[in-house]
Every structure is written in C-alpha cells, then in structure tokens.
Amino acid sequence: MFAQRMSLQEREKVLGLVLVTPAVAIILSLILYPIIYNLYLSFFDVNPMAGNTYVGLENHRNVVTDPTFWKSVFTTIVYVFSTTIGTTLMGLLVALAMNRKFPFRGVVRSLVLFPYVAPVISVVFSWQFFFDPVNGIFMDLAYDKLGLFSSRFNLIGSPSTAVWVAIAFSIWKNFPFSYLMILARLQAIDETLYEAAEIDGASGWHKFRFITFPEVYFVMGAIILLRVIWNFNKFEEVFLLTENVRVLSVYTYYKAFVGTMELGQGASLAVIQFILLIVFILFYVKRVLKW
C-alpha cells in the first residue's frame, strides 16, 4: 500500500514534468536564451551572412556618444510620460462615467472597447486621414473654421508635432484597458460607504477624494507600471502612424534593419533600453507602490 502511494506520487511528478516540458522548453530556448544571446551580440560586430567579430565595448560607446540617441531617449521619456498620464486619467474618467446607470450602458461599454481591440494597422490610416493637410477634418476645423493656423500643413510630417499626434493616438488606443481595470475595482466598492457619507453630508468631490480614490489608488499604481513597461517598448503604434517619431524602439529598428544593418549596435541599444526600464521599475516599485 505504502509503496504504491509512493509510486503514485512519483508517477504524478514525472507526468507533471512531461506535460510542462514542451512549454518550458519553448520559453527557455526562444525567450530566455535570446535575451542572453542579445547581451552577447552587443559585444560583437554582427554580420548575418559572415561571422561575428569581437569588438568589446565599441558598440555601446558608439551608441552613447551619438547625439541622436540622446534625442531619442528624450522623445521616449516625453512619449511614455504623457501617454501613461493620459491613458490613466482618461481610463479613470470613463470608468467613473460607466459605473453609473444610464440607458444603453451595455452597448456603450462595448463601443468604448473598440479602439483597444482593433488592429493597429487598421486604425492608423484613419488617424492619418484625420490630420491630412488636404482632405483631413482637423485642418478643415483648425484652419478654415477657426483660423488657428496661417496655412494648412501636415501635423504628422514634422517630428516635433508628430510626437503629440502619436501620444494622442496611444491614449485613444489604450485607455480602454485602464478603464476596464479601474471599473472592475469601482464595482467592488461597498455601496454603503457612499450612503454613510451622504448622510454625513459629503459633497461629490469629497466622496471621490475620501472613498473612491483610496480604493482605486493601488489599481492605478499597477496599471501605471504596466503602461510604462508596455509603452516604453512600444513599436507598432508609433512606427505605423508616423516614421518621424524616433522613440527608442523605432530608433533601434532603424539602426538594426534599415540601411547598413548595424545588428551589433542594435543589440547594444536593446540592452541599454532594458537597463533603463529596470532602473525605472525598481525606483517606481519602491517609491510609489511602497513594496
């Protein structure tokens, strides 16, 4: 009897390992190994057709002494900061609105999710058309109707204005995620808290400040962290909308795959980008989430 139970446990152990092995093997060989391999490649002059030549820290040195790299770091910081704040606040606003009862709420709740689920490629052209200097509605409003500008121009054409379009696009695309997370938390708040506050004569703002806000604080902290991680690495949402905004991912893509393919420098850029992200996460987790 005892021996049989042992063998049953043993069998379970073996079966567990057998079943999980394919998944783990795939993750180890195609995620973990490439990350280490990327670190290795960053010390080499990489030529896909011929071999790799060891160059030490030359790639890293080339990257950090290039002023366009620092410009792209700055663009990335502006992009990540604005989009994170924007998506979170927009998500909060929409969640507060959707938490109330109103007619057709079900339909409205699913329409609001459309930007998040539609493929990036299928919505960028509509945004480009919106800002198109000749046909777009934006210029029609801003120039013809309101007279804000002295001429029609392409807002997506120059890097300094295109970054703001990219930020607006990202907020539009991603706010539904923040909204869903915050709404889930809002629905879990005990109604009696609000009733008690009303009896005590609390105003709408006070109810938000002293009941709602403390309840959603940690959810917001978590979605801000996720948003920073995701938007820091974001490629498609920027590159497909406009090729003028060189955030770090786009910068790396150009370095590694366009023109003289500098794969070694690309690898070194990816390492630097990863280190920047880790530093931020450690700081944020300690300071804001107070873990």
Partner 1 sequence: MVKKTSFLRKALFFLLVLSIVLFSIFPFIQMISISLKYPAEWGDPSLIPKNINLEAYKELLNIGQETKNVPESVLTLLEETPDLSEEQREAILSKYRSTGDVFPFLRYFLNSFLLSFFAALVTVIFAIFGAYSFSRLRFPGRSVVQRGVLFVYMFGGILLLIPLYRMFVSFGWISIPQGAFVSLMIIYIVQTLPVSLYMLGNYFRTIPFSIEEAALIEGASRFGTIWRIIIPLSSAAIGTVFIYCFMIAWNEYLFASVFLKNYTELYTLPMGLKALFTSKNAIWDRIMAASVLTATPVILLFMSIQKNLAGGLTEGGVKE
Q: What are phi and psi of 54, to 5 degrees?
A: -70, 130
Structure token digits, residue 197: 């506050």
20 binds partner 1 (CB under 8 A): yes
Cα within 13 Å of Cα(103), Cβ side = 0
Give, to the nearest 10 degrees, the angle between helix 213-232 and helix 263-287: 170
How many residues line the site for partner 1 (CB under 8 A)?
Answer: 85
Residue from 1, 3, 19, 146 in contact with partner 1 (CB under 8 A)? 19
Structure tokens at 18: 């057998």
Is residue 189 at the binding interface for partner 1, with CB under 8 A as the rule?
A: no
Going residue by residue from 68 to 107, which x/- string records binding to partner 1, judged by CB under 8 A? -------------------------xx--x--x-x-----
The single residue among 194, 230, 254, 280 that binds partner 1, judged by CB under 8 A, is: 230
Q: Out of 43, 69, 79, 127, point to the residue binding partner 1 (CB under 8 A).
A: 127
Both tokens of residue 207?
A: 């109810």
Closest separation in Å from C-beta 272 to partner 1: 11
Q: Are 252 and 185 in contact (CB under 8 A)?
A: no
Give the footprint of partner 1 on residues 34-73 (CB under 8 A).
Answer: 34-35, 37-38, 41, 46, 48
Establish if 232 lies at the interface with partner 1 (CB under 8 A).
yes
Does 123 participate in binding partner 1 (rule CB under 8 A)?
Answer: yes
Shortest Cβ 235–partner 1 spacing (Å): 5
Long-range CB pairs of 97-100 (<8 Å, 24+ gap) are 98/179, 98/183, 99/183, 99/186, 99/187
